[in-house]
Amino acid sequence: MSQSKSADEFDDKSLVALSTLYGIELMEDNVEMLVMNMFSQFSFDYQSGIKQLGGSPNKEVLESAKVIIQTNMVQGNALTKIDGDGNPIIFSEWQLLPIVGNIKHQRVQRLEYTFQDILDGKEESQGVLTHKDSEELDLFDFLDEDYNPEEEEQDIKKQYAPVRITKVYKKELEG
């Protein structure tokens, strides 16, 4: 807090600090407790710090804190590198973007990496992961002779849009 000169700067720096904490927990109920306790502590510290600067708590900061904590604290097996759903464990990097011009707010680019890629030191994915995207099915598609259900599910590249760190709760995608 001693490095923040304004409430806006404190908002940004609080979330930047929070974004550096990561964890993997095997038990789902432990992850839920961890997330709740981390958010409770962040909320308490943030609200007391912002009041010392003469500001009032920003709901966007608290909503973004929830997203950062839920994203960075994952349920899975660190040995197998698989999450509870059988998928690779994914971590998000909250890459700080340069502050340019008169804009004094911290912007971030959310990049996703598998835990295995992090351990291997790979940067080939450039923070863009491929996700399965399935479309809504039409009940009458099966009547179409050319219908192939395998074509319904397709791989899509998902990349988050650069945003102010207090707006990460919106989970905005590029494109």
Work out the percent of the chain whose per-residue pLDDT is above 70. 79
Contacts of 168 (CB under 8 A, 6+ apart): 15, 64, 67, 68, 94, 108, 110
Say if 140 falls within a structural domain.
Answer: yes
Q: What is the structure's pLDDT at 134? A: 45
CA dihedral 129, 93, 124, 84 (to 10 degrees): -50
pLDDT in tens, 84-139: 999 999 999 999 999 888 878 999 999 999 999 999 988 666 666 655 544 555 55
Say if 82 falls within a structural domain.
Answer: yes
pLDDT in tens, 54-71: 999 999 999 999 999 999
The yes-or-no verdict on residue 74 having pLDDT over 50 is: yes
Say if 1 falls within a structural domain.
Answer: no
Structure tokens at 11: 């908002």
DSSP secondary structure string for all residues of 22-82: -EEESSHHHHHHHHHHHHHHHHHHHHHHHHHTT----HHHHHHHHHHHHHHEEEEETTTTE
Q: Which domain holds residue 126?
A: 7-170
> Who has greater pLDDT, 19 or 103?
19
Say if 2 falls within a structural domain.
Answer: no
Q: Average the pLDDT over 144-161 and give the result.
A: 67
Give pTM, 2 decimals: 0.83
Number of domains in the chain: 1
Question: Could you tell me how many residues make up the chain?
Answer: 175
The yes-or-no verdict on residue 21 having pLDDT over 70 is: yes
The yes-or-no verdict on residue 157 having pLDDT over 90 is: no
DSSP 125: T
Contacts of 105 (CB under 8 A, 6+ apart): 8, 12, 99, 164, 165, 166
Q: Average the pLDDT over 4-18 and give the result.
A: 95
